[in-house]
Amino acid sequence: MSTRPRLPFLKGHGTENDFVIVPDLDGHLDLSAAAVARICDRRAGVGGDGLIRVVRSSAHPEARAMADRAEWFMDYRNSDGSIAEMCGNGVRVFARYLQRAGLAEEGDLTIATRAGVRRIHIAKAADGTDGAAVGGEGAITVEMGKALLPEPGPEGGITVSVGERNWPAHHVNMGNPHAVAFVDDLGHAGNLFTAPGVRPAAAYPHGTNVEFVVDRGPRHVAMRVHERGSGETRSCGTGACAVMVAAARRDGADPAVTGRPVSYTVDVPGGRLVISERPDGTVEMTGPAVIVAEGEFDAAWLDTALG
C-alpha cells in the first residue's frame, strides 16, 4: 500500500482547451515530463491538453524574480510533458481556480508565467457578455503583453504546408511562437494531430504553433490550431491573439498606425474569444473559464505515474 499522501487535482477548460490543475502552493511536487504525459493521457490518466501546477512565485526558482509583482506562478506543461512559456486559455483557468479556492477575488490580479507577469481581470457574473459568461461566472480578461513580429530571416518568409498545399504565414510571437496562415477553407488544414510543415525550420528552433484562419465577417475570423506538444486543440488563447494581430496587419488596422484600438471576434472549435489590441501594442483576451470537476489521484496510481 502506498504511503504517499493523496494529491488533489481539478479539471477545467477555457473554450474547451482543457487542463488538469494541480495545486502545489508551496512547491514541493516534482513532476517529470513522463508523469505529466501520463496524467494528461485521455485513456490512462485524467486527460487534458496540458497540466497547470499552481505554485507561489516565491517557491519556484523560475518565478522568484517576479514574486514582488505576482504572488502566484503558473507552471504550465503541454500534454506531452514539455514546458511551455505561456497558455492564454490556461491562465484564465488558473485565475478561475484561484477565485474558486479563495485565493483571489473578482477584480484585478497578476499572475507570473514563463513569458512574464500577466495582468488579469475577473468580471462579476453580471458583467459577462458575448460568450464571456459561463455557468453564471463572469468573463476573465487577460493582458497578454505585446506581440512581436520578427523580420524574415535570410531564407525569406514563413511557409506552412499540408500535403501538397502551402500558404504564406505570418510569424507572430505572443510569448510563444506562432505561424498564422489565412486559408479559404478550414478543412484544408487536414488532420492537425499531425504537425503541418513549416519552413524555414530555422525560424522556429523549438517548434511552433500553427493557426489556419478563415474570414467570417468584418473583424470576425475563425481558426483551427495545431499546438506544439499537444496536436490539434479545441482552442489556443495565445494563438487567437496571434491570429488577431496578423488579421489586423493584413486589414490595415494596426493600432500603432491608426492610433485607435481594434477588436476582433475569434471563433475557435470550442467557443468564442474577443481579442483587442491597444495603440501601445498591448493585446487583451476576454473569454470564459470553467472548473468542471475536482478530486484526488489514487495514491497507488500516482506512485506508478511519478516513478
Sketch the domain layout of the chain as residue ranges: 8-139+290-306, 158-287
Catalytic positions:
87, 236
The highest-level CATH class for domain 158-287 is: alpha beta
Reported as a single tens digit per residue, the pLDDT across 199-214 is 998 899 989 999 999 9
Contact 77, 83 (CB under 8 A): yes
Closest CA to 87 of 21, 24, 9, 175: 175
Does the domain at residues 8-139+290-306 carry the CATH identifier 3.10.310.10? yes
> According to the annotation, is 56 in a ligand binding site?
no
HSE-up of residue 275 (Cα within 13 Å, Cβ side): 34
Neighbours of 242 (CB within 10 A): 33
pLDDT at position 138 is 83
Asked if 8-139+290-306 and 158-287 have one fold, the answer is: yes
Contact assessment for residue 54 and residue 97, using Cβ atoms and an 8 Å cutoff: yes
pLDDT band at 193 (very low <50, low <70, confident <90, very high): confident
Instruction: State residue 155's pLDDT score.
Output: 63
Q: Is the pTM of this model over 0.85?
A: yes
**Each residue of 105-163: pLDDT tens digit?**
999 999 999 989 999 999 987 544 444 444 447 899 999 999 999 877 656 699 999 99
**Which cell goes with 227?**
499546438
249 marked ligand binding residue = no
pLDDT at 237 over 80: yes
Question: Annotated binding residue at 88?
Answer: yes
- Summary mean pLDDT of the chain: 92
Tens of pLDDT along 264-307? 999 999 999 999 999 999 999 999 999 999 999 998 888 888 87
Per-residue pLDDT reduced to its tens digit, 246-271: 999 999 999 999 999 999 999 999 99
What pLDDT is attached to residue 2?
58
Flag whether 137 is marked binding. no
